[in-house]
Amino acid sequence: MKSITKKIVLLGNEGVGKTSLVKRFVHSIFNDQYLSTIGIKISKKTIQIEDTEVNLMLWDIAGNMMSKTLYQNYLKGAHGVFLVCDGTRPETYEAVIQEKDMHINVDFKESIAYLIVNKSDLMTEIDKNKLESSKVDFYTSAKTGDNVEFAFQRMAENFVDTNT
């Protein structure tokens, strides 16, 4: 079997659920407690797509790092970027839209960037109407697990050349 290794970075403000998404995807667990990430945490999960083993290196970057220039370094060599916001906090959505349009799509053009609106389990119709749905790639809930595996799977599929 073919084996490839890809780096995926998760970005977004504090408390939007980046660590929770990784834990849900990698370990199938969820915790209501909020333990802010310090710096960066790297996790690994291997999934199989067709005849390819895809090793995903997941770089979970603390939200409070986003204001610091140091965090640019962590993006280097990223094959994929998940920009994560909290669907109940519009300011976190504005922040990732800005980050995606002004920075990721400009300085990291070669990486695939997806926008995730997390905490869909808490979202009301009013919350949904505040977001421009055309800019959203996935609505997820790390709590219920809704769409989480699907989002990572979709990302991984980009890395696999299905013609070979």
H or E element that contains 41: strand 40-49
Q: Residue 18 in 3-state DSSP? A: helix
Instruction: From 60, 115, 64, select the one nearest 86 (Cα to Cα).
Output: 115
Contact status, residue 110 vs residue 117, Cβ threshold 8 Å: no
From the list Mg ion, ligand GTP, none, pick the one residue 125 interacts with, judged by a Cβ distance below 5 to 8 Å according to partner type. Answer: none
Nearer to ligand GTP, 9 or 142 (CB): 142
User: Looking up tokens 């995730």, which residue turns up?
Assistant: 116
Q: Are strands 138-139 and 112-118 parallel, antiparallel or unpaired?
A: parallel
39, amino acid identity: G
Min dist. Cβ of residue 139 to ligand GTP (A)? 10
Min dist. Cβ of residue 163 to ligand GTP (A)? 36
H or E element that contains 152: helix 148-157
Min dist. Cβ of residue 52 to ligand GTP (A)? 29
159 vs 79: CA distance, rounded Å: 8
Min dist. Cβ of residue 93 to ligand GTP (A)? 14
Min dist. Cβ of residue 11 to ligand GTP (A)? 9
* Residues at the site binding ligand GTP, with contacts judged by CB under 6 A: 12, 14-20, 31-34, 36-37, 62-63, 118-119, 121-122, 141-143
Nearer to Mg ion, 65 or 104 (CB): 65
> In the set 4, 37, 47, 53, which binds Mg ion (CB under 5 A)?
37
From the list Mg ion, ligand GTP, none, pick the one residue 17 interacts with, judged by a Cβ distance below 5 to 8 Å according to partner type. Answer: ligand GTP
End-to-end CA distance of the chain: give it in Å, rounded.
Answer: 12
User: Looking up tokens 């976190």, which residue turns up?
Assistant: 92
Nearer to ligand GTP, 54 or 115 (CB): 115
Which positions lie near Mg ion, rule CB under 5 A? 18-19, 37
